[in-house]
Structure 1
Amino acid sequence: MASPRLFIIHGYTAGPHHHWFDWLKAEAEALGMTVTVPALPDSQHPEKEAWQTALTECVGEVDNQTWFVGHSLGCITALRYLNQQPAGQDAGGVIMVAGFSEAVPPLPELDTFMSVPFDANRVVQRVPHRAVIASLNDDIVPPVLSLRFSQQLNAPFYALPDCGHFLSRNGMTELPLVLQLLSQFIKE
Protein backbone atom coordinates (compact mmCIF):
# COMPACT_ATOMS: atom_id res chain seq x y z
CA MET A 1 0.00 0.00 0.00
CA ALA A 2 1.29 3.44 -0.90
CA SER A 3 2.01 5.88 1.88
CA PRO A 4 -0.66 8.48 2.62
CA ARG A 5 -0.27 11.74 0.70
CA LEU A 6 -0.87 15.12 2.30
CA PHE A 7 -1.37 18.33 0.38
CA ILE A 8 -1.11 21.58 2.34
CA ILE A 9 -2.90 24.31 0.40
CA HIS A 10 -1.84 27.87 1.20
CA GLY A 11 -4.04 30.93 0.98
CA TYR A 12 -4.07 34.48 -0.32
CA THR A 13 -0.67 36.26 -0.30
CA ALA A 14 1.02 33.13 1.10
CA GLY A 15 3.35 30.47 -0.25
CA PRO A 16 4.62 26.99 0.59
CA HIS A 17 7.03 28.10 3.32
CA HIS A 18 4.81 30.56 5.17
CA HIS A 19 3.25 30.32 8.62
CA TRP A 20 3.12 26.76 10.04
CA PHE A 21 3.38 24.89 6.73
CA ASP A 22 7.04 23.80 7.00
CA TRP A 23 6.45 22.60 10.55
CA LEU A 24 3.39 20.54 9.54
CA LYS A 25 5.22 19.14 6.52
CA ALA A 26 8.09 17.88 8.70
CA GLU A 27 5.75 16.45 11.33
CA ALA A 28 3.54 14.67 8.77
CA GLU A 29 6.60 13.25 7.02
CA ALA A 30 7.69 11.85 10.40
CA LEU A 31 4.32 10.03 10.45
CA GLY A 32 5.23 8.41 7.10
CA MET A 33 3.20 10.69 4.85
CA THR A 34 4.38 12.05 1.52
CA VAL A 35 3.78 15.80 1.81
CA THR A 36 3.45 18.40 -0.92
CA VAL A 37 2.87 22.12 -0.42
CA PRO A 38 2.17 23.41 -3.91
CA ALA A 39 3.02 26.99 -4.82
CA LEU A 40 -0.24 28.29 -6.23
CA PRO A 41 0.27 30.95 -8.90
CA ASP A 42 0.36 34.67 -8.12
CA SER A 43 -0.95 34.45 -4.56
CA GLN A 44 -0.92 38.26 -4.37
CA HIS A 45 -3.54 38.35 -7.16
CA PRO A 46 -5.10 34.87 -7.15
CA GLU A 47 -7.33 33.62 -9.93
CA LYS A 48 -9.70 30.74 -9.24
CA GLU A 49 -9.09 28.92 -12.54
CA ALA A 50 -5.31 29.22 -12.31
CA TRP A 51 -5.32 27.83 -8.78
CA GLN A 52 -7.57 24.93 -9.79
CA THR A 53 -5.32 24.10 -12.74
CA ALA A 54 -2.20 24.18 -10.55
CA LEU A 55 -3.82 21.91 -7.97
CA THR A 56 -4.97 19.46 -10.65
CA GLU A 57 -1.45 19.26 -12.07
CA CYS A 58 0.05 18.75 -8.62
CA VAL A 59 -2.36 16.28 -7.02
CA GLY A 60 -3.44 14.03 -9.86
CA GLU A 61 -5.75 11.19 -8.84
CA VAL A 62 -7.30 11.18 -5.40
CA ASP A 63 -7.92 8.14 -3.20
CA ASN A 64 -8.67 7.38 0.44
CA GLN A 65 -4.99 7.88 1.24
CA THR A 66 -5.08 11.48 -0.03
CA TRP A 67 -5.46 14.18 2.62
CA PHE A 68 -5.79 17.95 2.41
CA VAL A 69 -5.05 20.71 4.91
CA GLY A 70 -6.19 24.08 3.66
CA HIS A 71 -5.56 27.53 5.09
CA SER A 72 -7.92 30.42 4.40
CA LEU A 73 -8.44 30.71 0.62
CA GLY A 74 -6.70 27.34 0.26
CA CYS A 75 -9.73 25.69 1.89
CA ILE A 76 -12.29 26.51 -0.78
CA THR A 77 -9.63 25.83 -3.42
CA ALA A 78 -9.11 22.28 -2.09
CA LEU A 79 -12.84 21.62 -1.82
CA ARG A 80 -13.53 22.82 -5.36
CA TYR A 81 -10.80 20.46 -6.53
CA LEU A 82 -12.46 17.58 -4.66
CA ASN A 83 -15.83 18.51 -6.20
CA GLN A 84 -14.28 17.92 -9.65
CA GLN A 85 -13.17 14.37 -8.89
CA PRO A 86 -15.07 11.50 -10.53
CA ALA A 87 -16.98 8.98 -8.46
CA GLY A 88 -14.64 6.56 -6.76
CA GLN A 89 -11.85 9.11 -6.36
CA ASP A 90 -12.61 10.20 -2.83
CA ALA A 91 -10.10 11.78 -0.44
CA GLY A 92 -9.47 10.41 3.02
CA GLY A 93 -10.09 13.74 4.69
CA VAL A 94 -9.78 17.49 4.92
CA ILE A 95 -8.77 19.81 7.72
CA MET A 96 -9.73 23.40 6.98
CA VAL A 97 -8.04 26.21 8.93
CA ALA A 98 -9.72 29.65 8.89
CA GLY A 99 -11.82 28.48 5.97
CA PHE A 100 -14.82 30.13 4.40
CA SER A 101 -17.19 29.63 1.48
CA GLU A 102 -18.77 33.08 1.23
CA ALA A 103 -17.57 36.62 0.65
CA VAL A 104 -15.16 37.95 3.27
CA PRO A 105 -16.06 41.62 3.83
CA PRO A 106 -12.52 43.03 4.05
CA LEU A 107 -11.38 41.04 0.98
CA PRO A 108 -13.65 41.77 -2.00
CA GLU A 109 -10.78 40.80 -4.33
CA LEU A 110 -11.52 37.16 -3.41
CA ASP A 111 -15.21 37.28 -4.33
CA THR A 112 -14.60 35.48 -7.63
CA PHE A 113 -13.64 32.38 -5.62
CA MET A 114 -17.16 32.43 -4.17
CA SER A 115 -19.01 33.27 -7.40
CA VAL A 116 -20.16 29.67 -7.90
CA PRO A 117 -21.15 27.68 -4.81
CA PHE A 118 -19.22 24.49 -4.14
CA ASP A 119 -21.18 21.29 -3.54
CA ALA A 120 -20.83 20.76 0.21
CA ASN A 121 -23.10 17.71 0.14
CA ARG A 122 -20.79 15.99 -2.32
CA VAL A 123 -17.84 16.59 0.02
CA VAL A 124 -19.82 15.34 3.03
CA GLN A 125 -20.84 12.16 1.17
CA ARG A 126 -17.43 11.42 -0.30
CA VAL A 127 -14.84 12.62 2.24
CA PRO A 128 -15.22 10.73 5.52
CA HIS A 129 -12.94 12.81 7.73
CA ARG A 130 -13.58 16.56 7.96
CA ALA A 131 -12.71 19.25 10.49
CA VAL A 132 -12.74 23.04 10.58
CA ILE A 133 -10.46 25.09 12.84
CA ALA A 134 -10.97 28.79 13.53
CA SER A 135 -9.68 31.42 15.90
CA LEU A 136 -12.12 33.52 17.88
CA ASN A 137 -9.92 36.59 17.35
CA ASP A 138 -9.36 36.16 13.60
CA ASP A 139 -9.21 39.72 12.25
CA ILE A 140 -9.28 38.65 8.58
CA VAL A 141 -11.90 35.90 8.30
CA PRO A 142 -14.67 36.47 10.85
CA PRO A 143 -15.04 33.29 12.94
CA VAL A 144 -18.75 33.14 12.12
CA LEU A 145 -17.82 32.48 8.48
CA SER A 146 -15.71 29.50 9.53
CA LEU A 147 -18.53 28.29 11.76
CA ARG A 148 -20.99 28.39 8.87
CA PHE A 149 -18.37 26.65 6.71
CA SER A 150 -18.14 23.83 9.28
CA GLN A 151 -21.92 23.53 9.29
CA GLN A 152 -21.98 23.22 5.48
CA LEU A 153 -19.37 20.46 5.73
CA ASN A 154 -21.09 18.77 8.68
CA ALA A 155 -17.64 18.91 10.28
CA PRO A 156 -16.53 19.31 13.88
CA PHE A 157 -15.69 22.95 14.63
CA TYR A 158 -12.62 23.72 16.73
CA ALA A 159 -12.59 27.29 18.00
CA LEU A 160 -9.22 28.35 19.39
CA PRO A 161 -9.24 31.50 21.52
CA ASP A 162 -6.22 33.50 20.40
CA CYS A 163 -4.56 32.49 17.12
CA GLY A 164 -5.54 35.39 14.87
CA HIS A 165 -5.61 34.25 11.25
CA PHE A 166 -3.04 31.52 11.96
CA LEU A 167 -0.23 33.58 10.43
CA SER A 168 3.41 33.63 11.43
CA ARG A 169 2.97 37.30 12.35
CA ASN A 170 0.40 36.05 14.90
CA GLY A 171 3.12 33.77 16.28
CA MET A 172 1.72 30.74 14.50
CA THR A 173 4.70 28.73 13.30
CA GLU A 174 3.25 25.46 14.62
CA LEU A 175 -0.33 24.25 14.74
CA PRO A 176 -0.46 21.10 16.90
CA LEU A 177 -4.24 20.68 16.62
CA VAL A 178 -3.93 20.03 12.87
CA LEU A 179 -1.30 17.36 13.48
CA GLN A 180 -3.39 15.81 16.26
CA LEU A 181 -6.48 15.59 14.03
CA LEU A 182 -4.48 14.31 11.06
CA SER A 183 -2.85 11.61 13.21
CA GLN A 184 -6.24 10.56 14.56
CA PHE A 185 -7.88 10.51 11.12
CA ILE A 186 -5.22 8.43 9.36
CA LYS A 187 -5.43 5.77 12.10
CA GLU A 188 -9.20 5.38 11.71
Structure 2
Amino acid sequence: MKKAVLLHGTDGSPKKIWFPWLKHQLEENGYEVFAPELPQNHTPNKIVYDKFLKNSGWDFANNILVGHSSGATTALNLLSSDSFPKVKATVLVGVFLNERLLKSVSPDWYDSRQFECLFKDEYDAGVLKVKGGKIYFVHGSDDPYCSIDDAKDLCNQVEGTFITIPNGGHLSASWNTTEVPQIIDQLKVDSVL
Protein backbone atom coordinates (compact mmCIF):
# COMPACT_ATOMS: atom_id res chain seq x y z
CA MET A 1 0.00 0.00 0.00
CA LYS A 2 1.26 3.49 -0.87
CA LYS A 3 1.43 5.75 2.18
CA ALA A 4 1.65 9.44 3.02
CA VAL A 5 1.97 11.50 6.20
CA LEU A 6 0.61 15.03 6.63
CA LEU A 7 2.04 17.20 9.42
CA HIS A 8 0.23 20.46 10.19
CA GLY A 9 1.79 23.59 11.62
CA THR A 10 1.53 25.64 14.80
CA ASP A 11 -2.02 25.98 16.14
CA GLY A 12 -3.09 23.94 13.12
CA SER A 13 -5.06 20.80 12.48
CA PRO A 14 -5.23 18.12 9.79
CA LYS A 15 -8.82 19.33 9.27
CA LYS A 16 -7.87 22.90 8.36
CA ILE A 17 -6.58 24.83 5.34
CA TRP A 18 -5.51 22.62 2.41
CA PHE A 19 -4.90 19.40 4.39
CA PRO A 20 -8.37 17.86 3.79
CA TRP A 21 -8.03 18.62 0.07
CA LEU A 22 -4.53 17.08 -0.12
CA LYS A 23 -5.61 14.03 1.89
CA HIS A 24 -8.45 13.47 -0.58
CA GLN A 25 -6.13 13.92 -3.58
CA LEU A 26 -3.66 11.38 -2.20
CA GLU A 27 -6.42 8.90 -1.37
CA GLU A 28 -7.77 9.28 -4.92
CA ASN A 29 -4.30 8.24 -6.10
CA GLY A 30 -4.33 5.09 -3.95
CA TYR A 31 -2.56 6.37 -0.84
CA GLU A 32 -3.32 5.52 2.75
CA VAL A 33 -2.88 8.82 4.61
CA PHE A 34 -1.84 9.40 8.23
CA ALA A 35 -2.79 12.95 9.26
CA PRO A 36 -2.47 13.18 13.04
CA GLU A 37 -3.33 16.08 15.31
CA LEU A 38 0.09 16.97 16.71
CA PRO A 39 0.15 17.37 20.51
CA GLN A 40 0.74 20.71 22.22
CA ASN A 41 1.03 22.33 18.80
CA HIS A 42 0.89 25.93 20.04
CA THR A 43 4.45 25.34 21.22
CA PRO A 44 5.86 22.77 18.76
CA ASN A 45 8.54 20.64 20.38
CA LYS A 46 10.77 18.28 18.40
CA ILE A 47 11.11 15.84 21.32
CA VAL A 48 7.35 15.70 22.00
CA TYR A 49 6.55 15.31 18.29
CA ASP A 50 9.26 12.71 17.74
CA LYS A 51 7.98 10.57 20.62
CA PHE A 52 4.34 10.99 19.54
CA LEU A 53 5.04 10.02 15.93
CA LYS A 54 7.33 7.10 16.81
CA ASN A 55 4.67 5.73 19.17
CA SER A 56 1.89 6.13 16.58
CA GLY A 57 2.44 2.67 15.10
CA TRP A 58 2.64 4.14 11.60
CA ASP A 59 5.28 2.71 9.23
CA PHE A 60 6.97 5.80 7.79
CA ALA A 61 9.26 3.95 5.35
CA ASN A 62 8.82 4.95 1.71
CA ASN A 63 6.02 7.46 2.50
CA ILE A 64 5.36 10.83 0.96
CA LEU A 65 6.09 13.12 3.93
CA VAL A 66 4.30 16.49 3.80
CA GLY A 67 4.65 19.25 6.36
CA HIS A 68 3.45 22.83 6.61
CA SER A 69 5.30 25.55 8.54
CA SER A 70 6.43 24.03 11.87
CA GLY A 71 5.13 20.71 10.47
CA ALA A 72 7.70 21.08 7.68
CA THR A 73 10.32 21.72 10.35
CA THR A 74 9.11 18.54 12.05
CA ALA A 75 9.60 16.65 8.77
CA LEU A 76 13.20 17.90 8.64
CA ASN A 77 13.73 16.93 12.29
CA LEU A 78 12.38 13.42 11.61
CA LEU A 79 14.59 12.95 8.56
CA SER A 80 17.58 14.05 10.66
CA SER A 81 16.87 11.37 13.26
CA ASP A 82 18.98 8.21 13.03
CA SER A 83 15.95 6.03 13.74
CA PHE A 84 13.71 7.53 11.04
CA PRO A 85 13.60 5.60 7.74
CA LYS A 86 14.11 6.84 4.20
CA VAL A 87 10.97 8.23 2.57
CA LYS A 88 9.81 8.34 -1.05
CA ALA A 89 9.39 12.13 -1.17
CA THR A 90 9.33 15.12 1.15
CA VAL A 91 7.12 18.17 0.57
CA LEU A 92 7.97 21.18 2.73
CA VAL A 93 5.27 23.86 2.49
CA GLY A 94 6.14 27.26 3.96
CA VAL A 95 9.06 25.62 5.73
CA PHE A 96 9.90 27.31 9.03
CA LEU A 97 13.69 27.30 9.40
CA ASN A 98 14.23 30.06 11.96
CA GLU A 99 12.50 32.88 13.80
CA ARG A 100 14.22 35.71 11.92
CA LEU A 101 11.06 37.15 10.29
CA LEU A 102 8.90 36.72 13.38
CA LYS A 103 10.45 39.76 15.02
CA SER A 104 8.16 41.89 12.85
CA VAL A 105 5.02 39.90 13.72
CA SER A 106 2.38 41.25 16.07
CA PRO A 107 3.30 40.37 19.67
CA ASP A 108 -0.24 39.14 20.39
CA TRP A 109 0.33 36.26 17.94
CA TYR A 110 3.91 35.32 18.67
CA ASP A 111 5.50 34.42 22.01
CA SER A 112 9.27 34.87 21.98
CA ARG A 113 9.79 31.43 23.60
CA GLN A 114 7.13 29.60 21.58
CA PHE A 115 9.55 27.86 19.21
CA GLU A 116 12.59 27.34 21.41
CA CYS A 117 12.22 23.53 21.33
CA LEU A 118 11.50 23.17 17.61
CA PHE A 119 14.65 23.83 15.61
CA LYS A 120 17.84 21.88 15.18
CA ASP A 121 20.95 24.05 15.17
CA GLU A 122 21.68 23.03 11.60
CA TYR A 123 20.37 20.50 9.08
CA ASP A 124 22.79 18.13 7.36
CA ALA A 125 21.98 18.47 3.66
CA GLY A 126 23.70 15.15 2.93
CA VAL A 127 21.45 13.28 5.36
CA LEU A 128 18.34 15.04 4.04
CA LYS A 129 19.27 14.16 0.44
CA VAL A 130 19.72 10.49 1.30
CA LYS A 131 16.64 10.08 3.51
CA GLY A 132 14.22 12.62 2.03
CA GLY A 133 13.72 11.03 -1.40
CA LYS A 134 12.62 13.65 -3.91
CA ILE A 135 12.44 16.89 -1.95
CA TYR A 136 10.06 19.72 -2.78
CA PHE A 137 9.81 23.19 -1.29
CA VAL A 138 6.49 25.00 -1.80
CA HIS A 139 6.56 28.60 -0.66
CA GLY A 140 4.44 31.72 -0.99
CA SER A 141 6.33 34.53 -2.72
CA ASP A 142 5.31 36.89 0.07
CA ASP A 143 5.40 34.66 3.16
CA PRO A 144 5.75 37.09 6.10
CA TYR A 145 6.76 34.42 8.65
CA CYS A 146 9.11 32.01 6.88
CA SER A 147 11.92 33.33 4.72
CA ILE A 148 11.69 32.36 1.06
CA ASP A 149 15.44 33.02 0.72
CA ASP A 150 16.28 30.61 3.56
CA ALA A 151 13.98 28.00 1.99
CA LYS A 152 15.63 28.45 -1.43
CA ASP A 153 19.06 28.12 0.16
CA LEU A 154 18.19 24.80 1.81
CA CYS A 155 16.48 23.65 -1.39
CA ASN A 156 19.71 24.28 -3.31
CA GLN A 157 21.74 22.41 -0.69
CA VAL A 158 19.55 19.30 -0.98
CA GLU A 159 19.13 19.65 -4.77
CA GLY A 160 15.38 19.86 -4.37
CA THR A 161 12.62 21.35 -6.49
CA PHE A 162 11.36 24.81 -5.55
CA ILE A 163 7.78 25.83 -6.29
CA THR A 164 6.85 29.47 -5.71
CA ILE A 165 3.19 30.33 -5.21
CA PRO A 166 2.71 33.98 -6.28
CA ASN A 167 1.06 36.01 -3.50
CA GLY A 168 0.51 32.79 -1.55
CA GLY A 169 1.60 34.24 1.77
CA HIS A 170 2.08 31.49 4.32
CA LEU A 171 -0.33 29.17 2.45
CA SER A 172 -2.58 29.14 5.48
CA ALA A 173 -5.99 30.25 6.72
CA SER A 174 -5.08 33.95 6.68
CA TRP A 175 -4.66 33.62 2.91
CA ASN A 176 -7.74 31.39 2.50
CA THR A 177 -5.60 28.60 1.09
CA THR A 178 -7.80 25.53 0.73
CA GLU A 179 -5.97 23.87 -2.18
CA VAL A 180 -2.38 23.77 -3.41
CA PRO A 181 -2.71 21.97 -6.76
CA GLN A 182 0.95 22.64 -7.56
CA ILE A 183 1.87 19.89 -5.08
CA ILE A 184 -0.14 17.18 -6.82
CA ASP A 185 0.82 18.48 -10.27
CA GLN A 186 4.56 18.29 -9.50
CA LEU A 187 4.30 14.86 -7.84
CA LYS A 188 2.57 13.59 -10.98
CA VAL A 189 5.13 15.20 -13.32
CA ASP A 190 7.92 13.50 -11.35
CA SER A 191 6.05 10.15 -11.26
CA VAL A 192 5.96 10.17 -7.46
CA LEU A 193 2.18 9.58 -7.38
Task: Give the TM interval when normalised to the shorter protein.
Answer: 0.7 to 0.9
Q: Give the match for residue 99 of structure 2.
A: 103
Instruction: Report which stretch shifted further, 130-139 or 52-61.
Output: 52-61
1:3-59 CA-to-partner distances (Å, cap 9, x unmatched) read: 211101111111111110001001110000001111111111222211111222236
Higher helix share: 1
> 11, 14, 34: which is aligned to 1:13?
11
- Over the residues paired in the alignment, what is the CA RMSD in angstroms? 2.1
Deviation of the 1:143 alpha carbon: 1.6
TM-score (norm 1): 0.87
TM-score (norm 2): 0.85
> 23, 29, 32: which is aligned to 2:21?
23
> 67, 91, 101: which is aligned to 1:70?
67
The percent of aligned pairs where both chains have the same amino acid is: 22
Q: Does 1:140 align with 2:138?
A: no
Q: How does 1:1-188 map to 2 (within 5 A)?
A: 3-58=1-56, 60-64=58-62, 66-86=63-83, 89-106=85-102, 108=112, 109-187=114-192
Q: Give the match for residue 107 of structure 2.
A: none
Amino acid at match of 2:79: L
Instruction: Report which stretch shifted further, 48-57 or 99-108.
Output: 99-108
Contact 1:93–1:185 (8 Å) recurs in 2: no
Partners of 1:27 and 1:104 in 2: CA distance: 34
5+ residue gaps, structure 2? 103-109
Deviation of the 1:121 alpha carbon: 1.2
